[in-house]
A and B are shown apart, each in its own frame.
Chain A
Amino acid sequence: MQTNLADPFVSAAVRILTAELGSEVARQERRNEDEPILGGDVTIMVGITGDVKGLVALAMSMETAGAIAGAMMGGPGAELDEIGKSCVAELGNMIAGMATVELEQEGYPSNITPPSVVTGRSMTISTGVGGGRVVFPLTTSFGHIALHVSLKLAA
Chain B
Amino acid sequence: MRKVLLVDDAAFMRMRCAKLLTAEGFQVAEAANGREAVEQYEAVRPDLVLMDITMPEMDGITATREITQRDRAANVIMVSALGQQSMVMEAIRAGARDFVVKPYEPDRVLGAIRRIFPQ
Contact = CB atoms under 8 A, between A and B. Distances in A.
Co-complex (A, B) = yes
Interface of A: 16, 19-20, 69, 72-73, 82-84, 86-87, 89-90, 93-94, 96-98, 100-101, 104, 109, 111-114
Contact of B81 (A72, A87, A94): A94
Interface of B: 9-13, 15-16, 54-56, 80-86, 101-103
Given A109-B86, A112-B54, A86 B81 contact: no
B12 A86 contact: yes
Contacts of A104: 84-86
B78 to A, nearest CB: 12
Contacts of B85: 104
A69 B10 CA distance: 13
A90 B104 CA distance: 10
Residue of B9, B15, B103 contacting most chain A CB atoms (<10 Å): B103
B54 A19 contact: no
B96 to A, nearest CB: 16
A26 B83 CA distance: 26
Nearest to B14: A86
Given A20-B103, A97-B54, A114-B55, A90 B13 contact: yes
A113 B103 contact: no
Contacts of B101: 97-98, 101
Smallest CB-CB A-B distances: 5 pairs: A97-B81, A86-B12, A104-B84, A86-B11, A87-B12
Nearest to B56: A114
Given A90-B13, A93-B10, A98 B54 contact: no
B10 A86 contact: yes
B12 A83 contact: yes
21 contacts: A16-B103, A20-B103, A69-B12, A72-B12, A73-B12, A73-B15, A83-B11, A83-B15, A86-B13, A87-B12, A90-B13, A93-B81, A93-B102, A97-B80, A98-B81, A100-B82, A104-B84, A112-B82, A113-B54, A114-B54, A114-B55
